[in-house]
């Protein structure tokens, strides 16, 4: 294999997936109205998300990074390292710890799947510069399109990774469909490496998912959803009439990130032919972070034809990385 190759493939019609009107309409017609998660990651949103990961209170990145640093060698030994696909790879800053351990062993192909073309291009460049022996084939589009694009005629097993507890940024139905799609895509012997933020007291989540007093990373990331809708769908959201706040709903064990209307208002989304009537206090959902109960999570994944092969759990922060293998 040639070294240091980069290729980025549009797997979902270049920019077309951004304009998935039925998907956005279904979200906006919900109660409360919801903006699908990927719409938060235009070029600006992707950078704003990076600034969230730098908040000391955002423990997910720090804890996962620590787990990978401590266990990358062991994980690399277990996963074989020939082909690693990652759903929602973002900057891949943590994944590079694992990829570094992989390329010490053998030539590795990394297939990041993300809606952010900017992040795919930047991370591919950085990774191939830092890690000789790594080939990067970025798949630009949404998860399902990326998974459908993974070649299934290669003898080399593949590992599908979802890090950052990204699997939790979904509704129950989306998660169910995504896990089934992953199970259908993988062949016996392939791996599924997935991190999960586990249940904890509400205060821990509310401190993590809201800005400290001196920072505004979450607020800017959440409000940018509206800027993106204004630009792409001809909407007229006035950002100053929304207050960003996340709360933990213990009934559904989900952090819900909302933009609360600070006054009565009607918003027009011209390209969607839609008007949103919001009363003061109504909210728009711009983010979900499901918190997993470990035994239930392992049972749910196993029920789709996987066996748990290994797990690495940070006992202090109750955050885990789990390796499953697709069974026959």
CB nearer ligand SAM, residue 41 or residue 324:
41
Helices marked H in the chain: 21-28, 43-53, 59-79, 95-103, 117-130, 143-148, 172-185, 202-208, 217-233, 294-302
At residue 139, the 3 state secondary structure works out as: strand
Question: How far apart are the C-alpha atoms of 314 and 152, rounded to whole Å?
Answer: 34
Only one of the segments 46-54, 72-80, 274-282, 294-302 lies at the binding site for ligand SAM (rule: CB under 6 A); that segment is: 46-54
Judged by CB under 6 A, does residue 291 bind ligand SAM? Answer: no
Judged by CB under 6 A, does residue 226 bind ligand SAM? Answer: no
Strand order in the sheet with 6-10: 6-10, 134-140, 108-114, 83-87, 158-162, 191-197, 319-326, 306-314
Binding mask of the shown chain, residues 113 to 142, with x at each position contacting ligand SAM by CB under 6 A:
xxxx--x----------------------x
Instruction: By CB under 6 A, name the one of 33, 34, 48, 53 that touches ligand SAM.
Output: 53
CA proximity to 197, closest of 161, 169, 177: 169
Binding residues for ligand SAM, rule CB under 6 A, total 22
Conformational region of residue 141, where left means phi above 0, alpha means psi within -120 to 50, and beta covers everything else: left
Tokens linked to 114: 């993300």
Judged by CB under 6 A, does residue 58 bind ligand SAM? Answer: no
Distance of CA 226 to the CA centre of its chain: 19
Shortest reach from residue 2's CB to ligand SAM, in Å: 27
Tokens linked to 48: 């704003």
Only one of the segments 69-77, 109-117, 248-256, 305-313 lies at the binding site for ligand SAM (rule: CB under 6 A); that segment is: 109-117
CB nearer ligand SAM, residue 61 or residue 253:
61
Tokens linked to 310: 């290994």
CB nearer ligand SAM, residue 37 or residue 269:
37
Judged by CB under 6 A, does residue 322 bind ligand SAM? Answer: no
List of residues contacting ligand SAM (CB under 6 A): 37-38, 41, 46, 49, 53, 61, 88-90, 94, 113-116, 119, 142-143, 163-164, 166, 169
């Amino acid at each position: 294999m040639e070294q240091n190759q980069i290729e980025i493939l549009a797997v979902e019609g270049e920019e077309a997936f951004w304009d998935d009107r039925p998907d956005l309409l279904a979200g906006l017609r919900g109660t409360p109205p919801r903006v699908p998660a990927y719409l938060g990651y235009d070029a600006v949103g992707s950078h704003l998300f990076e600034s969230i990961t730098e908040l000391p209170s955002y423990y997910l990145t720090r804890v996962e990074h620590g787990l990978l640093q401590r266990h990358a060698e062991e994980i690399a030994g277990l996963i074989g390292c020939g082909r690693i696909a990652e759903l929602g790879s973002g900057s891949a800053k943590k994944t590079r710890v694992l990829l570094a351990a992989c390329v010490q062993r053998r030539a590795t192909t990394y297939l990041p799947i993300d809606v952010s073309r900017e992040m795919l291009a930047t991370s591919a460049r950085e990774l191939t510069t830092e890690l000789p022996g790594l080939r990067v084939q970025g798949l630009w589009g949404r998860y399902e399109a990326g998974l459908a694009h993974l070649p299934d005629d290669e003898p080399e097993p593949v590992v599908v990774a979802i890090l950052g507890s990204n699997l939790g940024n979904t509704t129950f139905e989306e998660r169910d469909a995504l896990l089934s799609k992953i199970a259908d895509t993988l062949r016996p012997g392939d791996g599924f490496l997935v991190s999960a933020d586990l249940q904890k007291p509400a205060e821990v989540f509310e401190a993590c998912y809201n800005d400290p007093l001196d920072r505004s990373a979450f607020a800017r990331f959440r409000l940018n959803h509206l800027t993106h809708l204004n630009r792409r769908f001809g909407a007229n959201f006035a950002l100053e009439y929304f207050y960003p706040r996340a709360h933990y709903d213990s009934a559904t064990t989900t952090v819900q990130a909302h933009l609360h209307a600070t006054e009565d208002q009607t918003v027009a989304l011209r390209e969607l032919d839609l008007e949103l009537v919001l009363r003061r206090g109504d909210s728009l959902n711009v983010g979900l972070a499901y918190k997993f109960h470990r035994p239930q999570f392992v049972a749910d994944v196993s029920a789709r034809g996987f066996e748990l092969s290994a797990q690495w759990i940070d006992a202090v922060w109750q955050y885990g990385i789990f390796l499953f293998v697709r069974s026959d």
